[in-house]
Amino acid sequence: MLRIAHLIDDQNPGGVTRYLDFIASDPGMAALGRHEIVPVSRYRPAATRIEADVIVSHLTLSWRGLPGLMFLRARHPGTPLIHVEHSYSAGFVAHNVTRAARFYTLLRTGYAMFERVVAVSAAQADWMARRGLVAEGRLEVIRPSLDLSDFRALDAPEGPVRTIGAIGRFDRQKGFDILIRAFRQIEGEDLRLRIIGDGPERARLEELAGADPRISFPGFAADPATAIAACDAIAMPSRWEPYGLVALEALAARRPVLVSNVDGLRDHVQTGALQVTGGGVDDWVVGFNRLVTAKSLKRPGAPVGTTRADWRRLLDEVTGADRVENDGWGTAA
């Protein structure tokens, strides 16, 4: 059986770790090979002993980490190396990078060490292609997935939207400050905004919420399905977002999803998400008003992903394998 080592340098709870949990435990992914999650140093990944037929990097690229990637490549000269880009996108560059040319040089240099580079959304892949970050023929798109059965099992909310949820780490990236400012301009004593999660911006967000009794901070949700069940709709005002697993979960739960017009969140519009045209507070006021005043909303259907099929195709490409499909394949995810 094919041995696939997935290298990770950050084991904090979040989308990447949940995606890797899915890869390691899903029966359909197991039909492709034995997946092992290998924690490594971001700067010295080759210091950890790795025995695999394919090595998949889920690491964050940096100038400091380049020598470690070179050593990883040198230590496994005959092993296909794949990199999955979870961190960087056009929105990331716009909000965080002052010397873009230098940053693009970092990415081109790092990506060149891999047989394939995987974008997690079509929008991210388009950005990579426009900037010439990946050599021709080496760029793939595989949208992440999770076990969505708990979300699909939820009843769809009935009636108008009254409780809006926002789920994620309290970080500038997620744009929850924009959300709070916009929500406070919306009239309706029966409206609620539940900001679910935790992180370094918690005190600032609570200050922005002020004395508005409609805004609450329930804390970190160990069970995302339960958190989404308590909401009529989900809002994602991210400043940058390579993909956005929360949108996938909320759509599977047949909740309206309001997303900013950025990066991988655009991919979710194709499967039912509602897009806010701009990223400012006034734009989100308009989006909120449309959401809560709608007399009827088309409930999105549970999205059907292609994660397993796309990984199968990619692994076949890099290994030259021609595996026979078997009964353990399961449905698409």
Residue type, 95: H
* Same domain (yes/no): 141, 159: no
> CA 108, CA 295: separation in Å to the nearest integer?
49
Q: Angle at Cα 12 formed by Cα 65 and Cα 210, nearest 5°?
A: 115
328 part of a folded domain? no
pLDDT for the residue 85: 98
Strand partners, 56: 6, 82
pLDDT for the residue 302: 60
CA nearest to 185, candidates 256, 291, 281 = 281
* Same domain (yes/no): 44, 171: no
Residues in the chain: 333
CA nearest to 41, candidates 16, 12, 5, 9 = 9
Structural domain range at position 43: 3-145+305-319
61 part of a folded domain? yes
* Same domain (yes/no): 171, 222: yes
Sheet with 215-219: strands ordered across: 215-219, 192-196, 163-167, 233-236, 257-260, 274-276
From first to last of its 333 residues, what are the pLDDT tens digits of the chain? Answer: 899 999 999 777 778 899 999 999 999 999 999 999 999 999 999 999 999 999 999 999 999 999 999 999 999 999 999 999 999 999 999 999 999 999 999 999 999 999 999 999 999 999 999 999 999 999 999 999 999 999 999 999 988 999 999 999 999 999 999 999 999 999 999 999 999 999 999 999 999 999 999 999 999 988 999 999 999 999 999 999 999 999 999 999 999 999 999 999 999 998 899 999 888 999 999 999 999 998 777 666 666 678 999 999 999 999 986 443 432 333 345
pLDDT for the residue 332: 42
**C-beta of residue 162 within 8 angstroms of C-beta of residue 294:** no
* Same domain (yes/no): 13, 125: yes
Element (H, E) at 7: strand 3-8
User: Total domain count for the chain?
Assistant: 2
pLDDT for the residue 266: 95
Q: Give me the residue label for tokens 């080592």.
A: 5
DSSP category for residue 302: P
Query: What are the b/e assignments for 60-96, b being 16+ CB within 10 Å?
Result: ebeeebeebbeebbeebeebbbbbbbbbbbbbbbeee
DSSP category for residue 147: -
What CATH number is given to the structural domain containing 244? Answer: 3.40.50.2000
> CA 46, CA 42: separation in Å to the nearest integer?
10
* Same domain (yes/no): 77, 212: no
327 part of a folded domain? no
* Same domain (yes/no): 91, 159: no
> CA 180, CA 202: separation in Å to the nearest integer?
12
Sheet with 139-141: strands ordered across: 34-39, 3-8, 54-57, 81-85, 116-119, 139-141
Strand partners, 82: 56, 116
299 part of a folded domain? no
* Same domain (yes/no): 101, 168: no
* Same domain (yes/no): 88, 160: no
Q: Could you tell me the CA-to-CA distances from 218 to 73, 224, 294 in Å, in that order?
A: 45, 12, 27
Strand partners, 7: 38, 57
> CA 81, CA 40: separation in Å to the nearest integer?
15
* Same domain (yes/no): 38, 171: no
Q: What DSSP line would sit under 132-176, residue for residue?
A: T-S-TT-EEE-------HHHHTSPPP-SS--EEEEES--SGGG-H
Q: SS in 3 state form for 209-235?
A: HCCCCCEEEEECCCCHHHHHHCCCEEE
* Same domain (yes/no): 226, 241: yes
**C-beta of residue 235 within 8 angstroms of C-beta of residue 164:** yes
* Same domain (yes/no): 220, 153: yes
* Same domain (yes/no): 195, 176: yes
329 part of a folded domain? no
pLDDT for the residue 43: 94
298 part of a folded domain? no
243 part of a folded domain? yes
333 part of a folded domain? no
